[in-house]
């Protein structure tokens, strides 16, 4: 992080720190309008933050000092900004809807391949939806099971739930990720082999959990249907970058949907990894989602920093993480369809910016990626909001809502949105001791019923939850996270911590199953392995 520019942020914060959000509003009747932005179907009201013109100016200075505009261009034009893996980062190419667009990696335009895979996905999704693609015994596909984990699972799960109103209800989607056999077993209980399509989603096609689940699913299917290879051909497709491993597994490359090493797992929803979603909502709606992404991409690439929604969100996050010591932030969607959105973002943010080494390989001298968490409103209000209102931690929160609902029953939606607006109001303005007394609270209860307020929130509003607004929302957070990575000067697109887990588990597995293990771990791990083996009679 540029220390000179950061010093200016610290100075501006020091000068404004004692002014509360309440005072800031009282001093400026135009505050809400001043701190509201619109882009790609979304409105961001960030007025309920601990900011004034000087703080914002200093924050934009920080972005400029990091050459953010140049870094954005590098990403969009295929520079190898994921240096530790020597890869370009081009999820934006996946949703570039300009038919004339060209994006080059190593001198090759990637767009023809992107369009070809999308077309192949569309044709296949249509065939499954219409019944043209049938199972081994001639039955229509009724169950679609995505087998994948991490980036090959969380995006499709989140979006399939989010876009349920657009789904073909006669096809049911399942997602199996955990290597815990329970996940697969409970799914198999609900489906019929002759009506099931398994989608094996794995960028590398070597991930332990996914390959274990895929092999067990294949064994189950062959046992149920017979026919071995020919049954597998009708009931298994693969989403991967690794054709050789797909073929080894027994899936014909004709049934493989490709993507490329420049698509990071957690950024892969708009790639072939979105096939299960596309089967659910149809290629047209998938295309609309891509359009939503693309709109936000264009906004991010072209809007000046001061009007740039992902940049503003990123800078506010940096303000709280680095100047106020906030360790986490909450994402609180007031929409049941977005129930998995916080979990999806958790990976996107924490895997991208959970780094403690700068691009020069030196330890960072400041806080980086925050802990992201959240649940849909209003449920969270009856649980953890207490701590946000009156606890000792500062937890900035993003409230996400839609003016219209897909399920117009009575006054549910008005009540839902009333809660959203009321929460941000209460968090910002609190309740003073005087107000408590005026409400007749007994004096001994006043300290407990007083709310300090001054809790920062952003409110993100769209007219309704559609494929387009969902795509734009995902892109908004992707670019927010990118911007923070640039300012923190860290590599946001590798994930060596995930890779470590993949190796460690293999080593331990050997010791769990070996006839005579030679335990060479620490004493704790050795004892745990020995205990496990003893219970299973393998001692
Ligand atoms: C995502 C991560 C990680 C990855 C999974 C699955 O950015 O790299 O979550 O998506 O480990 O990997 P495969 O798709 O290769 O199975």
Ligand 1 atom at minimal distance to the Cα of residue 351: 7
Measured distance CA(202)–CA(177) in Å, rounded: 11
| Ligand 1 centroid, distance to 346 Cα (angstroms) | 14
| Ligand 1 centroid, distance to 41 Cα (angstroms) | 30
Ligand 1 atom at minimal distance to the Cα of residue 273: 14
Structure-block tokens of residue 5 = 């520019």
Mean pLDDT throughout 210-236? 93
Measured distance CA(40)–CA(301) in Å, rounded: 13
Pocket test for ligand 1, best of 498, 501, 504 (most atoms within 8 A of CB): 498
Closest residue by CA, ligand 1 atom 10: 151
Mean pLDDT throughout 154-179? 98
Residues 221 and 232: beta-carbon distance below 8 Å: yes
| Ligand 1 centroid, distance to 204 Cα (angstroms) | 8
Closest residue by CA, ligand 1 atom 2: 265
Q: What percent of the chain has pLDDT over 70?
A: 100
Pocket test for ligand 1, best of 151, 158, 241, 495 (most atoms within 8 A of CB): 151
Work out the number of other CB atoms within 10 angstroms of the CB of residue 18. 7
Residue 54: pLDDT band by 50, 70, 90 thresholds?
A: very high
Residues near ligand 1 with C-beta < 6 Å?
Answer: 149-152, 202-204, 207, 210, 264-266, 351, 495, 498
Measured distance CA(317)–CA(398) in Å, rounded: 10
Pocket test for ligand 1, best of 158, 200, 264, 265 (most atoms within 8 A of CB): 265
| Ligand 1 centroid, distance to 119 Cα (angstroms) | 24
pLDDT in tens, 443-490: 999 999 999 999 999 999 999 999 999 999 999 999 999 999 999 999
Query: Is cis: bond before 119, omega within 30 of 0?
Result: no
Residues 144 and 128: beta-carbon distance below 8 Å: yes
Residue 500: pLDDT band by 50, 70, 90 thresholds?
A: confident
Angle between helices 53-65 and 3-16 (to 10 degrees): 170
Closest residue by CA, ligand 1 atom 5: 150
| Ligand 1 centroid, distance to 493 Cα (angstroms) | 12
Where do we find the tokens 């979304």?
42
Residues 67 and 5: beta-carbon distance below 8 Å: no
Residue 502: pLDDT band by 50, 70, 90 thresholds?
A: confident
| Ligand 1 centroid, distance to 228 Cα (angstroms) | 29
Provide the phi-psi class of 431: left if phi over 0, else alpha when psi is between -120 and 50, else beta. beta
pLDDT in tens, 77-134: 999 999 999 999 999 999 999 999 999 999 999 999 999 999 999 999 999 999 999 9
pLDDT of residue 493: 96
- pLDDT of 273 strictly over 90: yes
**Burial of residue 107, with CB atoms counted within 10 A of its CB: 0-12 exposed, 13-18 middle, 19 or more buried:** exposed
Ligand 1 atom at minimal distance to the Cα of residue 267: 7
Measured distance CA(39)–CA(41) in Å, rounded: 6
Report the relative pairing of strands 108-109 and 143-147 from DSSP bridges: unpaired
Structure-block tokens of residue 190 = 């609900």
Q: Report the sign of the C-alpha dihedral through residues 357, 483, 158, 105, in that order.
A: negative
Residue (of 386, 533, 398) closest to 473 by Cα position = 398
End-to-end CA distance of the chain: 53
SS3 content of the chain, % helix, strand, coil (to 5): 55, 10, 35
- pLDDT of 13 strictly over 80: yes
Mean pLDDT throughout 184-212? 97
Q: Which residues are identified as catalytic?
A: 351, 382, 502
Structure-block tokens of residue 378 = 């209003």
Measured distance CA(78)–CA(495) in Å, rounded: 19
Where do we find the tokens 């506010």?
316
Phi, psi of 359, rounded to the nearest 5 degrees: -65, -15
Where do we find the tokens 């927010």?
480
Phi, psi of 273, rounded to the nearest 5 degrees: -55, -20
Closest residue by CA, ligand 1 atom 11: 150
pTM of the model as a whole: 0.97
Name residue 356's beta-bridge partners: none
Pocket test for ligand 1, best of 150, 274, 503 (most atoms within 8 A of CB): 150
pLDDT in tens, 390-434: 999 999 999 999 999 999 999 999 999 999 999 999 999 999 999
Torsion angle of the four alpha carbons 78, 481, 380, 463, in this order, in degrees rounded to the nearest 10: -60
Residue (of 80, 86, 91) closest to 114 by Cα position = 91
| Ligand 1 centroid, distance to 102 Cα (angstroms) | 27
pLDDT in tens, 275-334: 999 999 999 999 999 999 999 999 999 999 999 999 999 999 999 999 999 999 999 999
Report the relative pairing of strands 36-39 and 42-45 from DSSP bridges: antiparallel
Q: Report the sign of the C-alpha dihedral through residues 307, 311, 314, 319, in that order.
A: negative
């Amino acid at each position: 992080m540029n220390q000179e520019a950061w010093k200016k942020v610290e100075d501006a914060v020091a000068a404004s720190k004692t002014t509360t959000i309440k005072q800031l509003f009282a001093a400026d009747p135009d505050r809400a309008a001043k701190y509201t932005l619109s882009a790609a179907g979304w409105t961001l009201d960030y007025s309920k933050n601990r900011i004034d013109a000087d703080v914002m100016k200093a924050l934009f200075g920080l972005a400029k000092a990091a050459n953010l505009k140049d870094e954005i261009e590098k990403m969009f034009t295929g520079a190898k900004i994921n240096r530790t893996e020597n890869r370009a980062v081009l999820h934006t190419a996946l949703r570039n809807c300009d038919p004339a667009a060209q994006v080059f990696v190593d001198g090759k335009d990637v767009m023809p391949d992107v369009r070809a895979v999308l077309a192949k996905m569309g044709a296949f999704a249509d065939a499954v939806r219409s019944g043209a693609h049938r199972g081994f015994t001639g039955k229509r596909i009724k169950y679609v099971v995505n087998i994948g984990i991490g980036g090959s699972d969380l995006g499709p799960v989140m979006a399939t739930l989010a876009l349920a109103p657009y789904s073909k209800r006669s096809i049911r989607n399942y997602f199996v990720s955990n290597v815990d056999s329970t996940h697969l077993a409970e799914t198999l209980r609900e489906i019929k082999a002759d009506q099931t399509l398994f989608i094996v989603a794995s960028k590398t096609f070597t991930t332990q959990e996914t390959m274990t689940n895929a092999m067990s699913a294949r064994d189950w299917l062959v046992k149920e249907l017979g026919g071995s290879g020919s049954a597998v051909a009708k009931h298994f497709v693969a989403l991967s970058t690794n054709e050789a491993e797909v073929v080894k597994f027994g899936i014909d490359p004709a049934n493989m949907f490709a993507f490329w090493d420049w698509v990071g797992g957690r950024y892969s929803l708009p790639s072939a990894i979105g096939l299960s979603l596309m089967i659910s909502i149809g290629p047209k709606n998938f295309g609309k989602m891509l359009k939503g992404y693309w709109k936000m991409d264009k906004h991010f690439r072209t809007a000046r920093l001061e009007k740039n929604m992902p940049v503003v969100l990123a800078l506010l996050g940096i303000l709280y993480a680095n100047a106020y010591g906030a360790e986490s932030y909450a994402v609180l969607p007031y929409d049941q369809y977005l129930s998995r959105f916080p979990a999806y973002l958790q990976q996107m943010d924490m895997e991208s910016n959970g780094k403690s080494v700068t691009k020069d390989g030196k330890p960072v001298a400041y806080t980086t990626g925050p802990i992201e968490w959240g649940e849909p409103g209003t449920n969270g209000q009856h649980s953890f909001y207490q701590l946000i209102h009156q606890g000792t931690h500062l937890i900035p929160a993003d409230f996400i809502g839609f003016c219209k609902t897909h399920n117009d029953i009575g006054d549910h939606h008005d009540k839902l949105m009333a809660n959203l607006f009321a929460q941000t109001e209460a968090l910002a303005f609190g309740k003073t001791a005087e107000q408590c007394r005026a409400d007749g609270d007994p004096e001994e209860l006043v300290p407990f019923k007083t709310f300090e307020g001054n809790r920062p929130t952003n409110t993100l509003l769209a007219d309704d939850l559609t494929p387009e607004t969902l795509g734009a929302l995902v892109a908004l957070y992707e670019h927010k996270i990118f911007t923070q990575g640039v300012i923190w000067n860290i590599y946001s697109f590798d994930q060596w911590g995930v890779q470590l887990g993949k190796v460690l588990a293999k080593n331990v597995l050997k010791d769990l199953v070996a006839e005579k293990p030679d335990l060479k771990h620490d004493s704790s791990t050795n004892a745990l392995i020995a205990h496990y083996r003893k219970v299973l009679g393998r001692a």
